[in-house]
Amino acid sequence: MSDQVPDLPIAEGRRSLWERMSIVWLVPLAALVVSLWVAWESYADRGPLIEITFEEATGIRSGETELKFRDVTVGVVEDVGFSETLDRVRVAVRLDKEIAGFVDGDARFWIVQPEVTTQGVSGLDTVLSGVFIEAAWDSTAEGLVASHIGASRAPLLRTGQSGLTFRLTAGPGVQLTGGAPILHKGVEVGRIGPPELTSDGTVARSEAIVFAPYDRLVSSNTRFWDTSGFTFSLGAEGAALDFSSIATLIAGGVAFDTVVSGGTPATDGADFVVFVDEGAARASLFQDNAGPVLNLTAIFEDNFSGLSVGAPVLLDGVAVGEVANLNGIVDRDRFGDTNVRLTTSMVIRTSKLGLTDVTEEAALDFLAARVENGLRARLASASLLTGGLKVQLLDIPGARPAALNREADPFAIIPVAPAEISDVSATAEGVMERINNLPIEELLDAATAFLTSATTLTNSEDVKAIPGDLRGLVADVRGVTNSDEVQAIPAQAAALLTELQALSTDLRAIAASIETAKAVERVTAALDAATAAAEDVGASVEGVPALVDQLSGVAAKAEALEVQALLDELSSTVGAARALLADEGTKSLPTRLGDTLAELDAALAELRSGGAVTNLNAALASASSAGSAVEQAAADLPDVIARLEALAAEATATIAGFGEDSELNRTARAALRDMQDAARAIERLARTLERNPNSIILGR
């Protein structure tokens, strides 16, 4: 093999990198590029991660549960976890990039799950597909907000809907049902949200919505009422069964109407009360309840029974609202003990407070000012019979300072005063007991007996005869008056005066005989002394001239009387009396007699020595007879006086007959009074004489 190549080392030329590289390297290169590109693209396409917290994550699975907006998937749950304190569920959702900007602060998220209600079945698709998170946001992108709080229920206003959102407060007897329709003339125009209790549990409230364009129908004059259930009325028009629809019959519903035009359009967040029926709702409009409703809470220390929902709330005696709800509460932290207190929430119609500015704020201001001046809420008896209570708002003097707690949740709290409740049951019991204890039976027996007796008496012949007897009595009286004896009284008086005249004549005679016996000078002197003494005595006997004067008065007045006969009698009487009394002898008689006797004693003593004893004896005998005559006269005086009194009484009776008011009568009465006085003076004199006959002699 000559052509064999010599065995020389062959140095092969070094090939370039590209020549040495195998084409196969393109495959891993391509794979790398593709996978990198895919990775980068998926990373770049990835939307932001947001975090939504829910109360609970029913059916949410990471990687599966979708976030939907208008039923289009815009994100997927990536992670489900808990918040730090495990009280909420944190759901991380990977959003689509395009919509991320719209998930701003006003975005709302809720979990859609199948729900069967009386209004129908919703979310049925989620039965098969599993729950999903639905989102709603507006059409303005305001930048991503990474953390959201999910709602536990779907909002009333869904995406793409607009309407009026307001708040309904359940009035007494109204039951709000979540999801129930709001009807206007039978057309469903809105929906009620789930009702919630206020924090103190007294009032149920719920969000409600009326969708556009019907939201224009709601104004401040709109009234809502409950249409759930049915009403049955039986009246003159017959029986009426009324319910709006089967759905509302079962599920409840609320209807509204604007009865009076002119209200201002309602704004979002307005407050409305749901009345129990249409009648109440319409009536409320005309009860001057147009103003907003102010809710107040009062926490009464005592827990009395008897206060009920609907009980009136009185401000200074004027009904301004009613009790909306009652709750007993025990709150050891707040009150420091475990007593049950009565939390009363009241609805105050601000329009009834008489404020010019009818707003809740103004009403609160007003009440706050009043509370500072002592306004307190107080329980008081409303009805004694039923034991019902009412709430009074009134000024308590000296109340401990307190203020209206306006920050309280949910309603302002008004301070309270101790209740003023009469223990009705006890009082009523007492009353009944007392009525029980009344001796009604005895009383009735007595009354029956009395009536029996009265009947008997009335029917008796004696009683029947009384009128006749009376008539006879009158006749007798008339007879007595007209009797001769009575008629003769003046005559007797005249006779008495005549006797008095005779007496005075006798006295004069005595005096004369005494005078004739003054033969002896000493006797004369004695008599002079006696005269002087008599004069002294005259001054002491004052009653006699007064008597005289009075008698003169009587005479003067009696003269004025037109009763001629009487006047004549009287004047003669008076004249006689005057004659008797005016006589100096009579006047000074008693003293003079005493002095005379004293002088006589002295004279006799001298005469015994002088020898004129016999003469004197005669004189003394005559003096003694004179004394007995005086005695006789004195004994007769009472009789005289009695007769005078009788005369005066007779005269009074007579004069009384001349009429009460005539001048004559008055004059006569005065005259008679004077006469009575005169008679009394004479009586006094007579008594004095009687008691002490010596006084007429001794002048004492």
Q: Which residues bind other proteins (CB under 8 A)?
A: 20-22, 24-28, 30-32, 35, 38, 61, 63-64, 128-130
CB of 130 to other proteins, least distance (A): 6
CA–CA distance, 228 with 234 (Å, rounded to integer): 19
CB of 231 to other proteins, least distance (A): 46
Q: By C-beta, is 121 or 488 nearer to other proteins?
A: 121
Q: By C-beta, is 24 or 385 nearer to other proteins?
A: 24
Contact by Cβ (8 Å): 135, 142? no
Q: By C-beta, is 61 or 158 nearer to other proteins?
A: 61
387: its two tokens = 């034991």
- Which residues, in sequence order, are bridge partners of residue 377? 393, 416
Contact by Cβ (8 Å): 399, 414? no
CB of 25 to other proteins, least distance (A): 4
C-alpha distance from residue 8 to each of 3, 5, 12, 13, 594 (Å): 14, 8, 12, 15, 221
Contact by Cβ (8 Å): 167, 274? no
Continuous segment of H or E residues that includes residue 342: strand 341-349
Q: By C-beta, is 24 or 239 nearer to other proteins?
A: 24
Max CA separation in the chain (angstroms): 257
CB of 35 to other proteins, least distance (A): 6
Q: What number of other Cβ atoms are within 10 A of residue 180's Cβ?
A: 29
From the list 203, 415, 410, 409, the residue with the least C-alpha distance to 325 is: 203
Continuous segment of H or E residues that includes residue 169: strand 163-170
CB of 82 to other proteins, least distance (A): 23
CA–CA distance, 671 with 548 (Å, rounded to integer): 14
Q: By C-beta, is 58 or 129 nearer to other proteins?
A: 129
Contact by Cβ (8 Å): 87, 73? no
484: its two tokens = 């001769």
Q: By C-beta, is 41 or 601 nearer to other proteins?
A: 41
CA–CA distance, 454 with 449 (Å, rounded to integer): 8
Q: By C-beta, is 63 or 213 nearer to other proteins?
A: 63
Q: By C-beta, is 31 or 403 nearer to other proteins?
A: 31
C-alpha distance from residue 625 to each of 115, 614, 622 (Å): 148, 17, 5
Q: What number of other Cβ atoms are within 10 A of residue 105's Cβ?
A: 10
User: Any residues with CB less than 8 A from the CB of 583 and at least 6 apart, and which?
Assistant: 504, 508
Contact by Cβ (8 Å): 621, 512? no
Q: What number of other Cβ atoms are within 10 A of residue 522's Cβ?
A: 16
Q: By C-beta, is 5 or 241 nearer to other proteins?
A: 5
CB of 194 to other proteins, least distance (A): 28
CA–CA distance, 606 with 652 (Å, rounded to integer): 57
Q: By C-beta, is 46 or 61 nearer to other proteins?
A: 61
C-alpha distance from residue 568 to each of 47, 242, 548, 584, 662 (Å): 147, 107, 18, 26, 21
DSSP string, 120-136: EEE-THHHHH--EEEEE
Give rounded-to-5 percent helix, strand, coil for the chain: 45, 25, 30
Contact by Cβ (8 Å): 493, 647? yes
Q: By C-beta, is 57 or 176 nearer to other proteins?
A: 57
CB of 21 to other proteins, least distance (A): 7
Helices marked H in 483-583: 484-516, 521-540, 543-560, 564-582
Contact by Cβ (8 Å): 641, 679? yes
Q: By C-beta, is 130 or 387 nearer to other proteins?
A: 130
3-state SS, residue 38? helix
3-state SS, residue 13? coil
CB of 22 to other proteins, least distance (A): 4
CB of 75 to other proteins, least distance (A): 16
CB of 24 to other proteins, least distance (A): 4
CB of 362 to other proteins, least distance (A): 59
CB of 73 to other proteins, least distance (A): 12
CA–CA distance, 580 with 508 (Å, rounded to integer): 11
CB of 90 to other proteins, least distance (A): 22
CB of 28 to other proteins, least distance (A): 4
Q: By C-beta, is 128 or 385 nearer to other proteins?
A: 128
Q: What number of other Cβ atoms are within 10 A of residue 114's Cβ?
A: 14
Q: By C-beta, is 43 or 336 nearer to other proteins?
A: 43
Phi, psi torsion values for 592, nearest 5 degrees: -60, -40
Q: What number of other Cβ atoms are within 10 A of residue 638's Cβ?
A: 16
CB of 89 to other proteins, least distance (A): 19
Q: By C-beta, is 28 or 467 nearer to other proteins?
A: 28
